[in-house]
Chain A
Amino acid sequence: DAKTTQPPSMDCAEGRAANLPCNHSTISGNEYVYWYRQIHSQGPQYIIHGLKNNETNEMASLIITEDRKSSTLILPHATLRDTAVYYCIVRPSLAGGTSYGKLTFGQGTILTVHP
């Protein structure tokens, strides 16, 4: 089972920031938070990941709370092309275990960006 909880759907106006929340209250200290998105009929696209610190790249920002029990993915200026299913996933960061590297996908959040 997925270790994360996400709202099933969200709307956002084009040009505004999209803030997608994720709860991962049972996360352990050596687990990453990963975000992927899947645009209809395509393979999942990697967005960003973090361990403890906030992260930013050319696609998005990831804000992780101090207790690491939740995080928010921020798309600063959403466009129509950002309409997709967004998945928040936790996975081990330490190599060697049987779960290392594996991704368990939940149902994600359907983000709809409207004009």
Chain B
Amino acid sequence: SAVISQKPSRDICQRGTSLTIQCQVDSQVTMMFWYRQQPGQSLTLIATANQGSEATYESGFVIDKFPISRPNLTFSTLTVSNMSPEDSSIYLCSGAAGPADTQYFGPGTRLTVL
């Protein structure tokens, strides 16, 4: 398995600002992912964080709004840019490990945009 930590655990931000969320894994993982969970909803995949190259975004998510970095096999960041209240969500990262590339999730970052 893999143990995932995220920073910050929560934040309250002003409209128009940006926030960078960090995701750290305790061991090397093959893949890392970022998800969003809007209030009362299920998780939606934002993108796959690729090591050393541009992330692969899902439909409806773009790099300008959610730039992602993954400089090595254990660390990734997600930036939520030019925030609006609609960006208020929980943002979760995950890492895939083991023979089946099972995903293990971090605790999430609860973002509130005023």
Contact with A along B17-29 (1 / 0, CB 8 A): 0000000000000
Contact indicator B42/A102 (Cβ below 8 Å): no
CA of A100 to CA of B31, assembled, Å: 10
- Contacts of B33 on A, CB cut-off 8 Å? 101-103
Contact indicator B101/A108 (Cβ below 8 Å): no
Contact indicator A42/B43 (Cβ below 8 Å): no
- Contacts of B1 on A, CB cut-off 8 Å? 46
Is A45 an interface residue, CB under 8 A from the partner? yes
Query: Which of A93, A104, A105, A107 is in CB contact (< 8 Å) with B100?
Result: A93
Contact indicator A102/B45 (Cβ below 8 Å): yes
Contact with B along A28-64 (1 / 0, CB 8 A): 0000101010000111111001000000000000000
Nearest CB in chain B: distance from A99 CB, A: 10
- Contacts of A108 on B, CB cut-off 8 Å? 42
Q: Is the interface of B mostly helix, strand, loop or mixed?
A: strand
- Contacts of A93 on B, CB cut-off 8 Å? 100
Question: Given the known A-B contacts A101-B96, A103-B45, A107-B42, are A42 and B107 also in contact in the complex, defined by CB atoms under 8 Å?
Answer: yes
- Contacts of B44 on A, CB cut-off 8 Å? 105
Q: Which bucket holds chain A's interface residue count?
A: 20 to 34
Contact indicator A42/B45 (Cβ below 8 Å): no
Q: Is the interface of A mostly helix, strand, loop or mixed?
A: loop
- Contacts of A21 on B, CB cut-off 8 Å? none
CA of A93 to CA of B96, assembled, Å: 13
Contact indicator A45/B105 (Cβ below 8 Å): yes
Contact indicator B45/A46 (Cβ below 8 Å): no
Contact indicator B43/A101 (Cβ below 8 Å): no
Is B68 an interface residue, CB under 8 A from the partner? no
Chain A interface residues (CB < 8 Å from chain B): 32, 34, 36, 41-46, 49, 87, 93, 95, 100-108
Chain B interface residues (CB < 8 Å from chain A): 1, 4, 30-31, 33, 42-45, 48, 92, 94, 96, 100-108, 110
